[in-house]
């Protein structure tokens, strides 16, 4: 079984990586992009005995900084 965890910054948290990407996009001549927010994707390959609640606990304690980040889990 696989879980994909998308970790993103909460609204209002400054995103210097996103700003740098936005600046680079404009520097390459692309227009029409209003904002860029960068995040990360974590993929877990695990046994079926690992529940979504287990993955949520992993996110809350290790994979995401709950003060400044949100996370979403997709399982397949």
* pLDDT, tens digit, 9 for 90 and up, residues 51-69: 999 999 999 999 999 999 9
* 40 vs 31: CA distance, rounded Å: 24
Q: Give me the CATH number covering residue 36.
A: 3.30.1280.10
Q: What is the pLDDT of residues 27-55, one digit of tens each?
A: 999 999 999 999 999 999 999 999 999 99
> To the nearest whole number, what is the mean pLDDT of the chain?
97
Q: Residue 25: CB partners within 8 Å, gap ≥ 6?
A: 33, 36
Name the domain count of the chain. 1
3 state DSSP class of 74: strand
Percentage above 70 pLDDT, the chain: 100
What is the predicted pLDDT for the residue at 30? 98
- Give the other-Cβ count within 10 Å of 69's Cβ: 16
**Residue 35 belongs to what domain range?**
2-75
Edge-first strand listing for the sheet containing 69-75:
39-45, 2-9, 69-75
Model-level pTM? Answer: 0.88
């Amino acid at each position: 079984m696989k879980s994909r965890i998308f970790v993103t910054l909460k609204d209002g948290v400054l995103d210097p990586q996103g700003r740098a990407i936005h600046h680079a996009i404009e520097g390459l001549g692309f227009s029409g992009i209003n904002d860029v927010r960068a995040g990360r994707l974590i993929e877990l390959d695990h046994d079926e005995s690992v529940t979504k609640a287990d993955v949520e606990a992993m996110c809350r304690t290790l994979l995401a900084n709950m003060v400044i980040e949100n996370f979403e889990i997709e399982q397949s």
